[in-house]
Amino acid sequence: MSGIDVARHDALVVGGGPNGLAAAITLAESGRSVLVLEAAASAGGAVATEELTLPGFRHDVFSSVYPAGAASPVFEAMGLERHGLRWVHPRYCAAHPLPGGRAAQ
């Protein structure tokens, strides 16, 4: 951890996924100095959406259904919508392609 003075912080959170970020926010809201360390290029852990195939078609890269996150009182209290979060509630969350163009939903 070259150049990072971890001793200046009350808490060190390793991992910037949803749980690590929720922990860091909770600590910070209670007045603690928190340092979050994330090895990936961006925070979010397995929560990432990218335009991978065609323009306008966005894909959840790692996991795909977040009903617990959408219903979480912890995430609701954070007011993440102010920072751009928009929950999308599709008619069908998943489908399994079958022969003949059919799909099980």
For residue 48, the domain's CATH number is 3.50.50.60
Based on C-alpha coordinates, what's the Rg of the chain?
Answer: 18
70 is written with which tokens?
Answer: 């959408």
Looking at the structure of the chain, the number of domains it has is 1
pLDDT bracket for residue 34 (50, 70, 90): very high
DSSP E strands, the chain: 11-14, 34-37, 49-51, 58-60, 96-97, 103-104
Instruction: List the structure tokens of 9.
Output: 């912080």
Give the domain range for residue 81.
Answer: 6-91
pTM above the 0.75 mark? no
Q: What is the pLDDT of residues 41-71, one digit of tens each?
A: 888 888 888 899 999 988 878 875 677 778 8
